[in-house]
Structure 1
């Protein structure tokens, strides 16, 4: 398994989905790859916590 370069759906920037992250996702049973970069994921989580 190799690192993958994905495009963030919020900001449009490329980000790397590392082998380690892919393994973590597989161990947790997640079927889908992330669609947001780490910065946008943090911003989205912070926005949800403010409600």
Structure 2
């Protein structure tokens, strides 16, 4: 049974919650690892890498 997980962001060291819904989404997409960045840092990283193209 899945439960919400508290994870510390690799980039900003802020704690964030990896919800059951997000875990189910990750599982559905075939992702095997939990996220290492909070949603804000994930968005920033994605925007940064999108600008390089």
Q: Which bracket does the TM-score occupy, shorter chain normalised?
A: over 0.9
TM-score by length of 2: 0.93
Query: 1:9 maps to which residue?
Result: 10
TM-score by length of 1: 0.96
The SS at the match of 2:46 is helix
Q: CA deviation at 1:18?
A: 0.1
Query: 1:19 maps to which residue?
Result: 20
Runs of 4+ aligned residues of structure 1 deviating over 4 Å after TM superposition are none
Structure 2 residue runs of 5 or longer lacking an equivalent are none
Query: 2:37 maps to which residue?
Result: 36
